[in-house]
Chain A
């Protein structure tokens, strides 16, 4: 390929891959720069839930709905141009949220009613009906909500497929290359990206560094506040098919996702994978990038999973893994151009939903870069918010 790219995306996680794919589809020449292996960081820890069920009405739900609409087409489009890429295992298997104690029923039904008003397919059902759908569910479950729109994909395969599409359209993916900072022109606008393997001239740089986005933004001279929030997942030995059919959640997450406290939080998600193993997630804890094993965290996850699916208590847990969710103080992603540095864009801070939100994020970012219409309001995701404009 000759000539310089129009845009360089820094970070080949699911978010960077989706942004690069959307920019490439919009006709830009794209290079992706990744310091490690593509899809090897947070994206490799993601469980692959593409959810509307856990989102209250508001900007994140709107981005999630946009993403959910787009994912199947984006994956089909990628497979059409790069047929040899791995199968992302898109599976609209649906979600079921169960209230395990009487106190959780009321908030759950109210939450679902508000989601319904915002256009989400959320069907309130009783405990017995829930057990017909998921025979292993706890007898304690009194009420449940069925979310037929919830889906799942394999995040590493999906990111790999999107990057294959980027290459198929003439873009480049340079792994083992770390971004070190920007080159800025006389006007102060982006003129290139400095890397440990030389400078890449370009007019636009997209910061998609996941939990390391704060670091890169400082190198770029335009800090954004993105920090790591550790999460762990348990994986069981393979179980017979049908043991867990959908994604099954404990309704208590209705409080957890938005909270910013350092202390440990768990919200239980139980689901089976194509390989037959059951994934049990997950925890949220602010411990920086410390990755030492914390057994109390594994215990907390296990305790709640056994409450939701009592039969799982007998099942061996084979492994545990974790990652660092990129979060912002107000728990909304940052998507848009940085007003301090023209040509610097951010697409980051997706916390526990980056896999689900990636397709919508790529669409929104490409629309903003090219000036095309977007189907989501970008304002809530703008880069400078908080004190600057009176938001809490």
Chain B
């Protein structure tokens, strides 16, 4: 009998790390591939406070002993293998350097590729100084540097609070936290259902306490609808919103700030799952109770399957890692605790999604000359012109050029779809990226 195949995991965030630990403890060989130099993903990476055994994700950024951690390495393409699983094409080092291209066959694969935080367009959102909450958070955590001296945090969802706390921790003054929806306490109060028994509750109460102590103004139904500055951010215009997120005239205020951190929820990173042939529903990878996708040998965990925070990602990872070990032929014990946490986490995630949806009024924030796709400098009026001439799909994308630049629609894809009212099928085209991350032509040519 030949040796069982390893469990290969892409993504070393809370989900991928938990999968690695579960698979390793079931006796599987584990290969963990991640684009970053150190493990942890968006939530745990470079966070001294999370420590090896701390944080919401239980065991922090601990890679299990004996697991092969292939760091600093991107999976730039994925091809399904005939017997199940996939062949991964890897490259390491800087995108413009010569990156030792190689492949790895993964008959049993866990995709734990996380998500990008989403940003909505408005006049000035492309000014230097305007960043995603995730980027601000990463900088604050890893370099202990704040993105600016005076920051405004705006968007929707509970993760605006930890960013704010990190910014304060890194020495910035946070002039305001603007939540576009109704109070967070909406779901914090929703006892019994969502937050009950879930670690997140205590954690967020901790954040609100810090905010209160620092007297950081926290405004709900408020958004930034313009950013100003001569070449770099100097001030933002805020406005009160109606429940549908339409700006209420006459409520504009100007706040001086040199940093604006935006977080309007998350867009899952689906390109590898799509290339693997995994079915999606509502913009997320569809999984069964064992985190198995529709593609044989391929499991998914964490944000590609739904957005619910680090603890849910870790619980899904544990289930996926266990199921993947079993698929490799190892006897496993059903991860009952993790399965229970997944169920509770999904209830919490559903409550989060209900409390912090993106409301259609945001489509009124950009002006005709506001760039929607930054890479290709496509403005709102360009989009409308393209939509008039090409009624959807690839033709629309080619006519408008939205999503054809370096980010490949990661930033603008869903925004474009909602601004133009594309069908779901057409919107999903933005998730199809045969080349998941840019790769040098020479590296492509050299590989075997």
Q: Is A385 an interface residue (CB 8 A)?
A: no
Q: Is B395 an interface residue (CB 8 A)?
A: yes
Which one, A38, A237, A238, A313, contacts B390 given CB within 8 A?
A: A38
Q: Is A189 an interface residue (CB 8 A)?
A: no
Q: Is A234 an interface residue (CB 8 A)?
A: yes
Of all chain A residues, which has the CB nearest B401? A275
User: With A and B bound together, what is the CA distance between A319 and B444 in angstroms?
Assistant: 12
For window 423-444 of B, CB contacts with A under 8 Å fall at 426, 433-435, 438-442, 444
User: With A and B bound together, what is the CA distance between A298 and B274 in angstroms?
Assistant: 18
Give the residues in chain B near A237, CB-CB below 8 Å: 406, 438
User: With A and B bound together, what is the CA distance between A280 and B435 in angstroms?
Assistant: 14
Which one, A164, A175, A314, A317, contacts B389 given CB within 8 A?
A: A164
Q: Is B77 an interface residue (CB 8 A)?
A: yes
Which one, A44, A280, A302, contacts B394 given CB within 8 A?
A: A44
The answer on a CB contact under 8 Å between A320 and B393 is no
User: With A and B bound together, what is the CA distance between A303 and B442 in angstroms?
Assistant: 8
Q: Is B79 an interface residue (CB 8 A)?
A: yes
User: With A and B bound together, what is the CA distance between A343 and B38 in angstroms?
Assistant: 68
Which one, B78, B390, B434, B444, contacts A156 given CB within 8 A?
A: B390
The answer on a CB contact under 8 Å between B438 and A316 is yes
Given contacts A299-B447, A319-B404, A156 and B79 within 8 Å (CB-CB): no
For window 314-333 of A, CB contacts with B under 8 Å fall at 314-322
Q: Measured between C-beta atoms, what is the minimum distance from A147 to chain B in Å? A: 25
> Which of A111-119, A196-204, A218-226, A289-297 is the interface stretch?
A289-297
Give the residues in chain A near B396, CB-CB below 8 Å: 37
For window 59-85 of B, CB contacts with A under 8 Å fall at 77-80
- Residues of chain B having any CB pair with chain A under 8 Å: 77-80, 87, 89, 95-96, 103, 275, 277, 376, 385-386, 389-396, 398-399, 401, 404-406, 408, 426, 433-435, 438-442, 444-445, 447-448
The answer on a CB contact under 8 Å between B390 and A39 is yes
Give the residues in chain B near A156, CB-CB below 8 Å: 390, 394-395, 398-399
Q: Measured between C-beta atoms, what is the minimum distance from B251 to chain A in Å? A: 38
Give the residues in chain A near B78, CB-CB below 8 Å: 293
Query: How would you classify the secondary structure of chain B's contact residues: helix, strand, loop or mixed?
Result: mixed
Q: Give 14 new A-B contacts, CB below 8 A, not counting A44-B398, A292-B80.
A: A37-B391, A39-B395, A40-B392, A45-B394, A298-B435, A298-B444, A302-B444, A306-B441, A314-B96, A315-B441, A316-B440, A318-B438, A319-B434, A320-B435
The answer on a CB contact under 8 Å between A160 and B404 is no
The answer on a CB contact under 8 Å between B395 and A40 is yes
Of all chain B residues, which has the CB nearest A322? B434
The answer on a CB contact under 8 Å between A275 and B441 is no
Give the residues in chain B near A238, CB-CB below 8 Å: 405
User: With A and B bound together, what is the CA distance between A160 and B392 in angstroms?
Assistant: 12
Interface size class on chain A is 35 or more
Q: Measured between C-beta atoms, what is the minimum distance from B298 to chain A in Å? A: 13
Give the residues in chain B near A315, CB-CB below 8 Å: 440-441
Q: Is A157 an interface residue (CB 8 A)?
A: yes
Q: Which 5 A-B pairs have the closest CB atoms?
A: A313-B442, A302-B444, A44-B394, A37-B392, A40-B393
Q: Is A85 an interface residue (CB 8 A)?
A: yes
The answer on a CB contact under 8 Å between A312 and B433 is no
- Sample (9) of A-B pairs whose CB atoms are under 8 Å apart: A44-B393, A86-B386, A156-B390, A293-B79, A295-B103, A298-B435, A303-B444, A313-B441, A316-B439
The answer on a CB contact under 8 Å between A316 and B434 is no
Q: Measured between C-beta atoms, what is the minimum distance from A197 to chain B in Å? A: 15
Give the residues in chain B near A321, CB-CB below 8 Å: 434
User: With A and B bound together, what is the CA distance between A275 and B79 in angstroms?
Assistant: 29
Q: Measured between C-beta atoms, what is the minimum distance from B278 to chain A in Å? A: 12
Q: Measured between C-beta atoms, what is the minimum distance from A248 to chain B in Å? A: 15
The answer on a CB contact under 8 Å between A306 and B438 is no
Given contacts A38-B390, A295-B89, A236 and B441 within 8 Å (CB-CB): yes
Q: Is A305 an interface residue (CB 8 A)?
A: yes
* Of listed A175, A299, A322, residue having the most chain B CB within 10 A: A299
Q: Is A188 an interface residue (CB 8 A)?
A: no
* Of listed B395, B398, B433, residue having the most chain A CB within 10 A: B395
Give the residues in chain B near A316, CB-CB below 8 Å: 95-96, 438-441
Q: Measured between C-beta atoms, what is the minimum distance from A280 to chain B in Å? A: 8
User: With A and B bound together, what is the CA distance between A154 and B393 in angstroms?
Assistant: 16
Q: Is A36 an interface residue (CB 8 A)?
A: yes
Which one, A157, A235, A295, contacts B399 given CB within 8 A?
A: A157
Give the residues in chain B near A320, CB-CB below 8 Å: 434-435
The answer on a CB contact under 8 Å between B275 and A293 is yes
The answer on a CB contact under 8 Å between A319 and B433 is yes
Which one, B77, B386, B408, contacts A318 given CB within 8 A?
A: B408
Give the residues in chain A near B406, CB-CB below 8 Å: 237, 318
Which one, A36, A164, A293, A312, contacts B441 given CB within 8 A?
A: A312
